[in-house]
Structure 1
Amino acid sequence: MKPLTQSPTGSIPAGPNPSGVAPGGSLRYVGAGNNPQRTTMKRLLAVLAGWLPLVAFTVTAQSVWLEDLPEALKKAKAENKHVLINFTGSDWCGFCIKLQKEVLSTKEFADYATKHLVLVELDFPRQKAQSEARKSANRKLQKQYKVEGFPTLVLLDPQGKEVARMVGYGGGGFALVKQKLRLPNAP
């Protein structure tokens, strides 16, 4: 057995130290393969590799939401799709945030919307910056569609005629939204 020497943190072996504790109790890297920068980089890469699938899922679950209803109606008519208008208070309305999280940001909804819907978000935020022109256009559409509560989803046919409406959201996921808006069960 190797002789022991005293250090402020206790006894440690004298001479070369395989434990990685340097005399005086501080940690040190041992061996040619233990480069501290390389070890840190390996850990960083491992963390990033763990997050990559989550980032990829988030990107694939994104839907394209327009803010301009006339533009959306033109697109819907050209593509023979329905228009779904989401009247929301994205930064203050708890049920709007719940609808966004449980339905509108899911892969299932994004896949369905890509094939069948043109999406329009008319936001009425309290904290987020928004141009006066956007605020005015959204208020005009709120009056036109007689929206009195948030969230309100309004479904228009490709010609712009209202065919269904859902006011509020208490849960139930995309299946409930499809049922309330009478969306077809097409894949």
Structure 2
Amino acid sequence: MKKGIITLLLLVGSFAAEAQELVWETNVNKALEVSALTKKPLLMFFTGSDWCGWCIRLQKEVLKTPEFAAWAKENVVLVELDYPRRVPQTEEVKKQNNELQQIFGIQGFPTIILANGTTKEGKVNFEGIGSTGYVAGGPAAWLAVANGFLKK
């Protein structure tokens, strides 16, 4: 009995550790470098992390789950573009995030953009793959939408 409980605790702990290991870049240029090396598209998460209820719900129900973590490691480079109200940001991060909000025409949060990005002669070009936000139904429902974009 004790062996079974210990095994269960180790299994649950490994899933929790896996979900925490995800790296969310906040610098899009660094994310583009990783994307070029890994040949994976960017998953850009436009969020109001400290005030947007739907953003917080998406994080809790999907983005912080073991299912999402396993999928993300295989398929995308994660980029968080945050627009907090209470958490300070550098002017550089604010400028970058506002420019990307304009480029992609983001009008509401949460918005997730899947895109390929290339840098040529110092200029970044993005090719959109798909866009989504909160999807009811947990990680399976959200991942079905994301996988639909990646298969195109």
Same fold (TM over 0.5): yes
1:98 aligns with 2:98: no
Amino acid aligned to 1:99: L
Question: What do the CA deviations read for 1:124-160 (whole angstroms, capped 9, x no partner)?
Answer: 0111121122112111111111100000000013644
Asked if residue 165 in structure 1 is aligned to residue 131 in structure 2, the reply is yes
Question: Following superposition of structure 1 onto structure 2, how do residues 4-15 of structure 1 map, counting pairs within 5 Å?
Answer: none
Distance in 2 of aligned mates of 1:133 and 1:55: 37
Asked whether 1:179 is paired with 2:144, we answer yes
Identify unmatched segments of 5+ residues in structure 2.
1-5, 119-125
Bigger-Rg structure (1/2): 1
Q: Counterparts of 1:70-109 in structure 2 under 5 Å? A: 70-109=29-68
Percent identity, please: 40
Q: How far apart are the structure 1 equivalents of 2:14 and 2:67?
A: 15
Evaluate the alpha carbon distance shift between residue 106 and residue 183 of structure 1 in structure 2; reply closer, same or farther with a 3 A threshold. Answer: farther
1:84·1:156 contact (CA, 8 Å) conserved in 2?
yes
Gaps of 5+ in 1: 1-48
Shift of 1:58: 2.7
Runs of 4+ in 1 over 3 A off after TM superposition: 52-57
Report the TM-score, using the length of structure 1 for normalisation: 0.64
CA contact (8 A) 1:98 1:171 kept: no
CA separation in 2, counterparts of 1:170 and 1:79?
Answer: 27
Q: Which has the higher helix share?
A: 2
145, 152, 155: which one aligns with 2:111: 152
* Residue aligning to 1:134: 93
Q: What pairs up with 1:8-87 in 2 under 5 angstroms?
A: 56-62=14-20, 63-87=22-46
Paired residues of 1:178 and 1:184 also in contact (CA < 8 A): no
Aligned to 1:36: none
TM-score by length of 2: 0.78
Q: Deviations over 1:31-68 (max 9, x none)?
A: xxxxxxxxxxxxxxxxxx9xx75665432212110011
